[in-house]
Structure 1
């Protein structure tokens, strides 16, 4: 029988910065952002900041603009975030390009 491991459930939460892109006038934008925050909470992840950007289209290479990406890097580093969580599925090339920044 597997024993209950209290430390895994009650351990310190990991820190995350969440990123969301508002394409045009998305009525569900804030609802989806709250849903992501709740999913993080349920996964024992503390959301330490939220980075959003309003664009007409996704930036193909990096999902968000280069200026916003540099801002994200600064924020995540300053807040010692363990994760950066995007509120969308990224392509392999976007993941590669973002991780190189």
Structure 2
């Protein structure tokens, strides 16, 4: 998916979860929270973008490829999955943008 199709995901992945994210943030959740706080105009779009990707991309390899294509250098901790990570990001951003 292109930047025009998933602008919020591109921004989160490329600006907050890029190759330097672990230098800039305590953990991936701090990066996600910073995205929400600093990108109020596009953050509310992210849950629907992620939900759409999760509905159409069923394999872990496909999700890894999608995350990488969006500009991220994030890798889940051992035992975790890209799907679980994206589901958690979607829910976290949904809650934050609804309850702002």
TM-score by length of 2: 0.34
More helix by share: 2
TM-score by length of 1: 0.34
More strand by share: 1
Larger radius of gyration: 1
